[in-house]
Amino acid sequence: MKDFAEEGNDAVLMTRMAEYVVAVELNRPYARNAVNGDITRGLSAAIARTEADPSCRVVVLKGQGSSFCAGADLKEIAAGNRHLLVTQSGGFAGFVYAPRTKVWIAQVQGPALAGGLELALACDLIAASEMASFALPEVKRGLIAAAGGLHRLARAVPVAKAMRLTLTGEHIDAATADAWGLLALLASPQQLERQTFELAEKIAANAPLAVRESRALVSKVGEMPLDQILDQTQKARELLAKSHDLREGALAFIEKRKPNWTGT
């Protein structure tokens, strides 16, 4: 899988980290990876390519340089280009509301602010360095975190903590974010890349169809009534019961070998 740089968009780079793991990197370190039109187009294209690639099971989203993402590029907004920062299907950055079936892990090495935190919250898991920080400072500018930040943060951490963060606009450090339950992984700056990759590999080693259905169900918690979740769970069980991977998983266990998943 080649970099987007080869296609004329060097704001988002896409590389294969391993057989089933792809990295998508925001590449505007001079602007703290703030979202402009190029990043929006690049992320939208990255989703399309990873969704279409059957060998891609996990995607790691990261930022080049010392920041994960500072949110929307205010220069673009000041220039009247706010429309370039959204897409009809994906919302902000072409990403936060885009339909996805692959697992995305946000690898946050530094500040994830405003729309940057919303990008991380739109991923399935957040892995962070001890040097990371998080904030939704929109209220300080007369705005709200309208790109999913409000409801996703309230689902990810206790409501009182989400209320505090959104109403004060204050920053929290990585240790606080971990204590609140926002993070799936907290690592030293030196170990973040390796530990995030190890997490991605653990997920990618499992049955793709089971991972897909499990991800979809967990992501709906808090968004739909319990009876609907139970109905969706039963449908997933019926789908998996007919799958090749279910039979393969049982056979591999009996034969004491590594499963050969097909995702079917």
SS (H, E, C) 177-189: HHHHCCCCEEECC
Give the start-to-end residue ranges of the domains of the chain.
4-204, 208-255
Q: Do residues 132 and 172 touch, judged by C-beta distance below 8 A?
A: no
Q: Which fold has domain 4-204?
A: 2-enoyl-CoA Hydratase; Chain A, domain 1 (3.90.226)
Q: Which one is catalytic: 76, 118, 193, 213?
A: 118
Is residue 138 annotated as a catalytic residue, yes or no?
A: yes
Is residue 76 annotated as a catalytic residue, yes or no?
A: no
Q: Which one is catalytic: 138, 213, 248, 255?
A: 138
Cα–Cα distances in Å, from 26 out to 59, 105, 209, 232? 13, 14, 28, 34
**Could you report the per-residue pLDDT of 196-231, keeping only the tens digit for each?**
999 999 999 999 999 999 999 999 887 888 889 899
Q: Which residue would you say has higher pLDDT here, 136 or 3?
A: 136
pTM for the model stands at 0.94
* Nearest one of 71, 175, 57 to 121, comparing CA atoms: 71
Checking if the pLDDT of 79 tops 60, the result is yes
